Structure 1
């Protein structure tokens, strides 16, 4: 049996949807998990103090500003959390020789493509949220320390505030769901399991990667799948567009072939990811 060496790991934003899943998946590691209340990543003094005291092997940043529509009017706040704080985190991580694992988004792309985006394809965000996350990516890359940036998309889980839980838990019997946006709904559990694999099998091949459940569908198709698998009996109607403050990319499917190859990892399908989340939701 292969012996796994314990590694010190800091998780920021540990009480969020992704942070909660990763914290659970890394239970075999020496984890220091901080909620956003316990560690404000926009405060460089707090960041420096924690990292200096713990001297982690990895820093996994799950703290982020994710309110896509609100970002249009809270631009300064979005950039402060998603770019400036991330830049400082990367600098401190490099200072203490820690590997930074950071999560970005499919919203760095404009959605005009017809085939899945590769990780080296041109970025062109069409909303402030996407622009702030791209600024964070660039800031990390400029520091030139050991880092992994994983672009994820349409994240959901059996816990937290997300599309899956809304469809599953709403009292509404009829739902009008947009059918003009195509992406890859991705289980936070699958992201967390992959991060656990990375920590145990790190290829030290740093850079930008894509990680999403494999396949593509619209929000409408995803809602229908949730409705059917949970036997909710809701009426799900397709609508051409849903009025939102921020623009969303019409097509944001990402090519994960490089990730599977470099990390020697088989990424689960959308269907398999959903089945696992539904099992958790029912338990």
Structure 2
């Protein structure tokens, strides 16, 4: 398992480095998305390693510059997705949102300029060497049998964190936290089960988590849509300057967001209220 984890990290980081290089030349929506997906998996991996040996590794410290890059790429990705969503709503509402899409285009150019700023160019190779050394140091200490027990214990801790979050009042802020932690849990569970497929201690399938992840992703896009649309409204000279079709768009986004949340909450509680299989 330890060799399997090392190979996974090397593969993900190499893919990230290649996508980062491509992203500096081509800010295509799929390239940006794939790069951020790799970054999410790398962060989830580091947090898992941190859970194994918290006194000798800090994901937050190790990924400081990595996180800054992730946020810059996230700004581009969010705007690109909003352009897609705006075009979808144009068809659905039989309206044209030309001014809003132009506003998003300007924001995208600004976000791309920030990402490609030469003063803050990220060096993947420098981080890779340091991260690899830290990860190998933790993994090389573990015997295979002990590591399987430690790994399962880490998953139980992550599961308990999610369970506690879901039990509380699911505010927008908390839902964002649930979304992030659920993704991290799901990425690592997939990796673990690809090697230990006969030992599933959780009373749910990954497909159930994927369904919730997908819905949470759509919900997140609507939260961002509402924020950016209201920011666009703020650029208008007065409320009277906001056309009726934009007001209808805002209402549609708000209602869709509320409906999506209504679907997600019971799914989360249903999956995470089940009893864990005894070790």
TM over 0.5: no
Normalized per residue, the structure richer in helix is 2
Q: Which has the higher contact order (CA 8 A, sep 6+)?
A: 2
TM-score after normalising by structure 1 = 0.27
Pair member with larger Rg: 2
